[in-house]
């Protein structure tokens, strides 16, 4: 494991070197529920900090509540709400767009081809998805993987804002246009703002937003993939600035190989 800060630096107990299973916020009934041994071990790591335990419990309760959400039309076509997954104490939160076919089936964000690329990019900076938290702007799959509509984003945004409030990330990497525009509150597109961190206030706390190209878009475009890799490489340094924990020099192995995708796989990206 690297020296990259992966959980709260303010409270040493939160510096869990390896977070075995942080899927404590998975939808009830899914294989990753709060009673898994990993989650118990993680909870034990901070047993002395009631505020952390309360925050985690509130996140798990909110996931349960959200599983029955019917705030917009997407509720009628979904298999399940894709709430989010990862370390509830993470300093680093990734926010994507919306669940696609595989996410809707499995109940977790970024489990398709774009997710595999995200995993490789994380690996390149010495992290796994258990070190971070991953969520989307929209929690239910839009039919045919179409773009989320403005009223759907409006109906769903409170869920993401509540997640941010409860997870208390220091750095939020927004993946693509939808997350970037929603969380920055600005209309600037990802091509203009990627790789440029900006300070904002979310969930009542100061947080650094770091816009990145969406991994699914980078799968199609080699130049975008290189830019995404370059931008990703700066994450440890940004985390170090936010947490005060020195980042290790990161060896980003090589260019992330671009998997040749069949048309069917490409259609399944979102
Ligand atoms: N999978 C997700 O969960 N979100 C995206 O934005 C794309 C794929």
pLDDT at 266 exceeding the cut of 80: no
Span from the CA of 170 to the centroid of ligand 1 (angstroms): 21
How do strand 85-86 and strand 133-136 relate by DSSP bridges?
antiparallel
Span from the CA of 110 to the centroid of ligand 1 (angstroms): 5
Mean pLDDT of the chain: 82
Q: What angle (nearest 5°) sits at the alpha carbon of residue 52, between those of residues 160 and 129?
A: 55
User: What pLDDT sits at residue 48?
Assistant: 74
Question: Which H helix or E strand runs over 215?
Answer: helix 215-220
Residue 192 within any structural domain of the chain = yes
pTM for this predicted structure: 0.80
Span from the CA of 98 to the centroid of ligand 1 (angstroms): 5
Full residue range of the structural domain in which residue 151 is found: 12-244
Number of structural domains in the chain = 1
Span from the CA of 152 to the centroid of ligand 1 (angstroms): 16
Alpha-carbon span 109 to 62, nearest angstrom: 17
pLDDT tens digits along 239-248: 999 988 766 5
Residue 16 within any structural domain of the chain = yes
Residue 206 within any structural domain of the chain = yes
Q: Which of 135, 180, 216 to mutate to test the pocket of ligand 1 (most atoms within 8 A of CB)?
A: 216
Q: Is 124 in the pocket of ligand 1 (CB under 6 A)?
A: no
User: What pLDDT sits at residue 245?
Assistant: 78
Residue 137 within any structural domain of the chain = yes
pLDDT at 19 exceeding the cut of 70: no
pLDDT tens digits along 43-85: 455 467 999 999 999 999 999 999 999 999 999 999 999 999 9
DSSP state of 74: G
Residue 261 within any structural domain of the chain = no
Residue 253 within any structural domain of the chain = no
Higher pLDDT, 183 or 203: 183
Residue 236 within any structural domain of the chain = yes
CATH number for the domain harbouring residue 39:
3.40.470.10
| Shortest-distance atom of ligand 1 to CA 214 | 6
Higher pLDDT, 95 or 37: 95
Closest CA to 74 of 47, 104, 109, 41: 104
Q: What is the mean pLDDT of residues 13-24?
A: 29
Residue 195 within any structural domain of the chain = yes
User: What pLDDT sits at residue 129?
Assistant: 95
| Shortest-distance atom of ligand 1 to CA 134 | 3
């Amino acid at each position: 494991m690297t020296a990259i800060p992966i959980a709260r630096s303010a409270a040493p107990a939160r510096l869990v070197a390896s977070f075995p299973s942080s899927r404590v916020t998975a939808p009830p009934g899914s294989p990753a529920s709060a009673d898994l041994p990993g989650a118990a071990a993680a909870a034990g790591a901070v047993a002395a900090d009631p505020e952390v335990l309360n925050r985690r419990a509130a996140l798990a309760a909110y996931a349960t509540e959200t599983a029955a959400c019917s705030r917009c039309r997407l509720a009628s076509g979904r298999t399940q709400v894709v709430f989010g997954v990862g370390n509830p104490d993470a300093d680093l939160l990734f926010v994507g767009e919306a669940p696609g076919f595989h996410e809707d089936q499995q109940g977790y964000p970024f489990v398709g081809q774009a997710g595999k690329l995200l995993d490789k990019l994380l690996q390149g900076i010495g992290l796994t998805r258990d070190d971070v938290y991953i969520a989307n702007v929209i929690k239910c799959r839009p039919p045919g993987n179409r773009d989320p509509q403005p009223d759907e984003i409006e109906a769903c945004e409170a869920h993401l804002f509540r997640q941010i409030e409860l997870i208390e990330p220091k750095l939020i990497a927004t993946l693509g246009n939808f997350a970037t525009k929603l969380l920055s509150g600005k209309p600037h597109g990802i091509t203009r703002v990627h790789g440029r961190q900006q300070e904002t206030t979310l969930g009542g706390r100061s947080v650094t937003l770091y816009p990145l190209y969406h991994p699914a878009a980078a799968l199609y475009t080699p130049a975008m993939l290189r830019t995404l890799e370059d931008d990703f490489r700066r994450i440890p340094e940004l985390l170090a600035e936010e947490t005060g924990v020195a980042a290790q020099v990161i060896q980003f192995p090589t260019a992330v190989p671009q998997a040749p995708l069949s048309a069917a796989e490409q259609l399944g990206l979102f």
